[in-house]
Structure 1
Amino acid sequence: MAIVGVMGSGKVEWEALSTPLGKWIAEQGFDLLTGAGFGVMLSTARAFSTTHGRKGRSIGIMPSEPHPVRGFAPLQGYPNPYIDLPILTPLPRKLAEAPDDALNRNYVNVLTSDVVVALPGNQGTLDEIRLATRFAKPLICIGPIDAFDGVPPGTRIVSALEDVYQFVLATTGSIDETAPRPS
């Protein structure tokens, strides 16, 4: 079962994109991976988890902070209530002032995903897009083009969810790209 990583804003849900995407991922039987937080992560996981008959799991990679007894603890509010499998790493969120090569949980998000779908977001999302490019992970971005300023040249940005669905299916080997498409 393929893991579809959905990256995006931790504040804005982008519901018109994230809700149908989360539902579609569940209907396809894929696992969903997010950063276990709010915004796009919350709305995608909510749609995924509330889809009747889903088979996949909602995986959340949580940022942490040092804890005097447990070693590390998730940041307050993590994971959101729609995460089936929360994964605590000793890695923090990507801080804006951190150098590009600073280790953070975005590495786990990207490297664990079989395919990365990025919705509009901020610095953390841009970092995940750059990491997906760096590590040659299949990547597609969806949303307004101007929401993806600063992405690496050649990054595929689309505006229709159908394009994302076809990309994910083709990338995961779930469809034959040479088969005729309905008109």
Structure 2
Amino acid sequence: MAIIGVMGSGKNEWPELAAPLGTWIAERGFDLLTGAGRGVMLSTARAFSTTQGRKGRSIGIVPSETHPVLGFVPVAGYPNPFIDLPILTPLPRKQAGEPDDALSRNFVNVLTSDVVVALPGSQGTLDEIRLATRFAKPLICIGAADAFDGVAPDTRIVSSLVDVYAFVLAQTERIGAGAPSY
């Protein structure tokens, strides 16, 4: 089963994009991967998880902080309540100003995804877009072009969810992950 990674703002839910995308991913039997937080991550996971008859799982890559007894614990507010499979990583959220090669959970988000769909966001989202490009992950961005300033010039940016759906289907068929495994 293909894992569709949806990246985007941790503050703005972009419900007009994220909710129908989450529902569509669930209806196709794919797994959803997000950063397990608020904003786009919450909106997409909510729509995915509340879709009747879904077969896939909502996977969340949870940022952590150190704890004197437990080692690492989720950052407050993580995971959101619509994550079926939270994966706690000792890798932090990427901080503004850190170099591109600074390790963060963004690496796990991108490297675990079979296809990456990016909605508008801030520095963390732009970092995930750069990582998807660096590691040759199938990538499509949806939203206004100016929301993706700073990405590679050949990055595919579309304004219609229909284009995203076609891209995801083509990529999952190409990598042989289009059919659910059960």
Q: Give how far 1:66 is off.
A: 0.6
Opposite residue 124 of structure 1, the aligned amino acid is G
Opposite residue 4 of structure 1, the aligned amino acid is I
Opposite residue 94 of structure 2, the aligned amino acid is K
Structure 2 residue runs of 5 or longer lacking an equivalent are 175-182
Opposite residue 76 of structure 1, the aligned amino acid is A
**In the alignment, is residue 57 of structure 1 matched against residue 47 of structure 2?**
no
**Per-residue CA distance 1:84-125 (angstroms, 9 max, x = gap):** 000000000000021110000000000000000000000000
Opposite residue 43 of structure 2, the aligned amino acid is S
Per mean C-alpha deviation after superposition, the further-off stretch among 50-59 and 62-71 is 62-71
Give the distance between the partners of 1:68 and 1:40, measured in 2 at CA.
32
Q: Give how far 1:152 is off.
A: 1.1
User: 1:100-139 maps to which residues of 2 (within 5 A)?
Assistant: 100-139=100-139
Aligned to 1:164: 164
Aligned to 2:41: 41
Query: In the comparison of the two structures, how many residue pairs are matched?
Result: 174
Aligned to 1:179: none
TM-score of the pair, normalised by structure 1: 0.94
Q: Between the two proteins, what is the percent identity of the paired residues?
A: 81
Aligned to 2:78: 78
* Runs of 4+ more than 4 Å apart: none
TM-score of the pair, normalised by structure 2: 0.95
1:173 is paired with a residue whose SS is helix
Q: Give how far 1:68 is off.
A: 0.6
Q: Output the aligned Cα RMSD.
A: 0.7
**In the alignment, is residue 95 of structure 1 matched against residue 95 of structure 2?**
yes
2:173 is paired with a residue whose SS is coil
Give the distance between the partners of 2:44 and 2:141, measured in 1 at CA.
15
